[in-house]
Amino acid sequence: MLSIIMVLIILVVVGVLPNSINIIAISSILILLGYKFRNMFKKAYIYYIVALTLSSVALVYYESEYSALIIEGIIGYSFLFVVMITGVLPNKLLLTRNLKRNRGMFSILSFIFISPHSASHALGLIGGINLFGIVAYVFMVPLTIISFQIIRREIDNKDWIYIQKAAYIIYVSLFVHLLLVAEWENKVVYAVLFTLYLNNKILKEIRK
């Protein structure tokens, strides 16, 4: 498993993959790490500090090729994709249980890493502003706040489940956003991923 993780890391770092495949590769790395090392993400605050540091540096040096994975939103989308996948995996799987344990942290890290991407567009540093991207980011703000355990504990479980349904607005908005701005080869991959997610989500809801 570690050899697979290393190969994926090398492919991402070398930059030979299109953005859509990079998202799949990084998501796979996170999933494999979450499965292999169940306590790896135990000290969440360390990852938040590292993510904030990397995101801040990437925004300052947004023109650097080393900042591309963050500025283009690839890392942020990857964390969010893991959150999405966790919601459609069978609950009985050990993998699902391990991922659910870290789902809130992945949501927060997704927001942190997507923020430089959103800020760079809002400030006119790269590209323009996309309405669907704005909608997704706006909805991410409150959902990220309530993902912190100190706030999560203060929310009734029924209210929590109801509020979390807003995540579907984020998923749909981001996929539409990606389909509008991506290159054609990436559009195909995004469309397939969203179709698979939607199909599995519907099947899981039917089986409840």
- DSSP string computed for 179-194: HHHS-HHHHHHHHHHH
pLDDT of 153-166, one tens digit each?
778 777 777 777 88
pLDDT at 41 exceeding the cut of 80? no
Cα 135 to Cα 152: distance, rounded to the nearest angstrom:
23
Cα 34 to Cα 112, 117, 139, 194: the distances in Å are 19, 25, 26, 22
Residue 67 is classified by DSSP as G
Other CB atoms within 10 Å distance of the CB of residue 53: 11
pLDDT of 134-153, one tens digit each?
889 998 988 888 888 788 77
Residues belonging to the chain: 208
pLDDT at 100 exceeding the cut of 70? yes
